[in-house]
Chains A and B, each alone.
Chain A
Amino acid sequence: MTDRASARAAKDALASRFAADPGVAAVGLARQAADYVVRVDLTEPGAGARVPADVDGVRVVTHVIGTVRAL
């Protein structure tokens, strides 16, 4: 089982890695059953190929959300 602290460490690593990647819209923590996972939001599907499936044993999931705008 992955707890929030472990997932947070993986998230921080991924957020730094993709900070300048225009294909990545955001990186956060999500839940899958009892596990915390890292959720990577993508601006376009092709960017998913650059995102690893896990970081230090923490699962990484991707979702395409497009561009984020102020509402």
Chain B
Amino acid sequence: MLPDNARELKARLSKRLSEVPPSSVAASSVDGPSRWSGVALGLTPVARGQVHLAIRLIEQADADVVLGGLDAGARDEVDVRVIGPVRPLTSPTPDELRRRGRPLRPGASVGHRDVTAGTLGGFVRRRGTEELLVLSNNHVLANSDAGVTGDPVFQPGVADGGLDTDRIGSLAAFIRFRLEPGNLVDAAVAALDPGMTTNPAGYPGGPLSAVVAAADDTDPDELVEKVGRTTGHTRGRITAVEVDGVGVQFDDAVHTFDDQVEIEGVSGGFSAGGDSGSVIWRSRDRAPLGLLFAGSTTGGSAGGGVTFANPLATVLRELDVEWFAG
């Protein structure tokens, strides 16, 4: 139909629905067929100068109520889809991420028993197995090589009040630091205790891609995002790739890393202490690409310092695990 006709139909239908208040339950419930649970109306183009009336429903049962007000001719020119409840795309606040939270979600405070706190980056699993592992840094889950397999891991981390009763699992594997230059990753995984619930798809905006960006498919100027325990959900821009000779000050030593990704925040800092372990993803296709582990306090266009990340593909290869997007 012509756009003006569709607009008129939309206005008529909208007015009729406004006279029938929505129910908190489905139209087929005890409230009877005259009530509905929610609808959105709009126009959708189908050809040059031609549109259909777009009707988006929370439940299929609403269709009878909504379409009941249309004549047979109009029913042929509507595009009806059931889309379920619509929720705001909110991001968790840092306060929420520092609290105890079950199911476990990306961005949450986590840490080895003897570490202050870092970030739960995401979930991985060993090839051919179903059990999920928590992914973060060596310096978060393995106390910078000081931990041993089986050590307890808390959520939230100790700095956020984590206690023995907040145990979620135990250190399962980590990549040791080399004293000589040429480190590639700061990475570790923790196995979950039986019955621990998880939400691997719980990133701001929904799940990340199941396909991890290849290390050589990461370009300068790409826009990226992360969610971390200290600064929450932030956006940034890759400022350099294949970065070598990155000397990083840890508690007791300086370790040098090669082939890293450098990022700056688009407005202020991209990260801060406690965000280590965050998974970084590419905004354009939500492909996970990095594991955040270090940063500077100066530099970057916005003056908030720059952040360094291991390529996630390298992390997965070194740990011999695969990404689990949920």
Q: CB within 8 Å of B: which residues of A?
A: 8, 11-12, 15, 18-19, 24-31, 36, 39, 41, 63-71
Chain A contacts of B219 at CB under 8 A? 31
Give Cα A71 to B248, complex, Å. 10
User: Which residue on chain B has the smallest CB distance to residue A24?
Assistant: B245
- Our pick among B181, B240, B248, B276 for the contact of A28 (Cβ within 8 Å) is B240
Chain B contacts of A24 at CB under 8 A? 245
Whether B296 contacts A28 by the Cβ 8 Å rule is no
B36 within 8 A of A: no
Give Cα A32 to B220, complex, Å. 9
Give Cα A63 to B308, complex, Å. 15
Task: Report whether over half of chain A's contact residues are helix, strand or loop; otherwise say mixed.
Answer: strand
Whether B239 contacts A15 by the Cβ 8 Å rule is no
User: Which residue on chain B has the smallest CB distance to residue A31?
Assistant: B220
Chain B contacts of A39 at CB under 8 A? 239-240, 243, 262
Give Cα A65 to B297, complex, Å. 7
Give Cα A30 to B292, complex, Å. 19
State which residues 181-210 of B face A: CB under 8 Å.
Answer: 181, 186
User: Which residue on chain B has the smallest CB distance to residue A64?
Assistant: B299
Whether B296 contacts A65 by the Cβ 8 Å rule is yes
Can you list 16 residue pairs at the A/B interface with Cβ under 8 Å?
A12-B244, A26-B240, A26-B244, A26-B246, A27-B244, A28-B243, A28-B260, A29-B241, A29-B242, A64-B299, A65-B299, A68-B246, A69-B249, A69-B250, A70-B248, A71-B275
Whether B294 contacts A66 by the Cβ 8 Å rule is no
Chain B contacts of A15 at CB under 8 A? 244-245
What are the 8 tightest A-B residue pairs by CB atom distance, in nearest-first order?
A: A28-B243, A65-B299, A28-B240, A31-B220, A66-B298, A65-B296, A71-B276, A26-B246
* A67 CB → nearest B CB, Å: 6
Whether B276 contacts A70 by the Cβ 8 Å rule is yes
- Our pick among A8, A41, A71 for the contact of B293 (Cβ within 8 Å) is A71
Q: Which of B186, B246, B251, B274 has the most CB of A within 10 A?
A: B246
Number of interface residues of B (CB under 8 A): 43
B57 within 8 A of A: no
Chain A contacts of B262 at CB under 8 A? 26, 28, 39, 41
- Our pick among A12, A19, A64, A68 for the contact of B308 (Cβ within 8 Å) is A68
**Given contacts A27-B245, A70-B139, could you give 17 more A-B pairs where the C-beta distance is less than 8 Å?**
A25-B246, A25-B247, A26-B247, A27-B243, A28-B240, A28-B242, A65-B298, A65-B300, A65-B306, A66-B299, A66-B305, A69-B248, A69-B250, A70-B249, A70-B293, A71-B271, A71-B294
Give Cα A18 to B307, complex, Å. 21
Chain A contacts of B161 at CB under 8 A? none
Chain B contacts of A71 at CB under 8 A? 118, 271-276, 292-295, 307
B131 within 8 A of A: no
Whether A68 contacts B292 by the Cβ 8 Å rule is no
Give Cα A15 to B272, complex, Å. 27
Whether A31 contacts B221 by the Cβ 8 Å rule is yes
User: Which residue on chain B has the smallest CB distance to residue A8?
Assistant: B242
Give Cα A67 to B297, complex, Å. 7
